[in-house]
Chain A
């Protein structure tokens, strides 16, 4: 299951989707919204996705993970829209025969997602807003 959704993520459903009878390990990564960035309070985050390409890129990542580790099940769900601190932004779940490959595959999937999948977030502070990582360090001026 690959899902890009505006609705709150049902974490248990993602886990259940990834679970397999032959698995001895289910590994889950849950990404949440931090309440601070650059020493300032984050009021909310705005996520947007290029949905059709995001789904295609996640599928490629899963295909590569399945090639490298003996995955028995997997599911990825990413939230878009406005998220407040502590809300869940992404859930990755994988199941495998043993824990080591489940940890490695889960980390590979979330790391690849963060570096390749066309999803963006904007931090909204009390005094401005900023697209995360868009500009080189040091020139990331906050603009209103």
Chain B
């Protein structure tokens, strides 16, 4: 069954995605790498960023991490605090 992943967007990604939170379909076994590919196709603006990291449950996650519908997933564009 197709599940839905809720994704938080911050900084410039909030402008690109058009909201603080968006939903994307999640395939069984879908990874962070798959999500990046989905984002690039649905929101080409993310390709223009200097970098884009994905956080899963408040931790930076690499492309191999498998996503679950219950995970807290967030887009982390280049940070600029300080």
> Is A49 in contact with B81, judged by CB distance below 8 angstroms?
yes
Question: Do A120 and B77 have beta carbons less than 8 Å apart?
Answer: yes
From B21-29, B32-40, B47-55, the one touching the partner chain is: B47-55
A131 to B77, CA, bound (A): 10
B32–chain A nearest beta-carbon distance, Å: 15
Interface flag for B1 (CB, 8 Å): no
Q: Known A50-B10, A118-B10; judge A135-B79 contact (CB<8 A).
A: no
- Indicate which residue in B59, B76, B82 contacts A113 across the interface (CB closer than 8 Å): B82
Identify A135's interface contact among B49, B55, B81, CB under 8 A.
Answer: B49
Chain B residue nearest to A52 (CB atoms) is B58
**B10 near A120: Cβ-Cβ < 8 Å:** yes
Q: Verify if A139 is at the interface (C-beta below 8 Å from B).
A: yes
Bound state CA distance, A118 and B77, in angstroms? 8
Counting contact residues on chain B (CB < 8 A from A), the size range is: 10 to 19
Contact partner of B50 among A54, A119, A134, CB < 8 A?
A: A134
Could you tell me how many residues of chain A have their Cβ less than 8 Å away from some Cβ of chain B? 30
* B17 close to A (CB within 8 Å): no
Q: Could you tell me if B78 and A133 are in contact, using CB atoms closer than 8 angstroms?
A: yes
B80 interface hit (Cβ, 8 Å): yes
Residues in A whose Cβ lies below 8 Å from that of B78: 133-134
- Asked whether B55 lies within 8 Å of A121 as measured between CB atoms, the reply is no
A36 vs B57: C-alpha distance in the bound complex, in angstroms? 36
- Decide if B74 is an interface residue (CB 8 Å cutoff): yes
Q: Is residue B12 contacting chain A, with contact meaning CB distance below 8 A?
A: yes
Chain A residues proximal to chain B, CB less than 8 Å:
31, 47-50, 52-54, 56, 78, 89-90, 110, 113-122, 131-136, 139
| 7 A-B pairs with C-beta separation under 8 A | A78-B81, A89-B82, A114-B79, A119-B80, A120-B10, A134-B77, A135-B12
Known: A133-B78, A133-B79, A134-B12. 4 other contacts (CB 8 A): A54-B81, A89-B81, A119-B81, A120-B81
5 nearest CB pairs, A to B: A119-B81, A120-B11, A132-B80, A131-B12, A114-B82
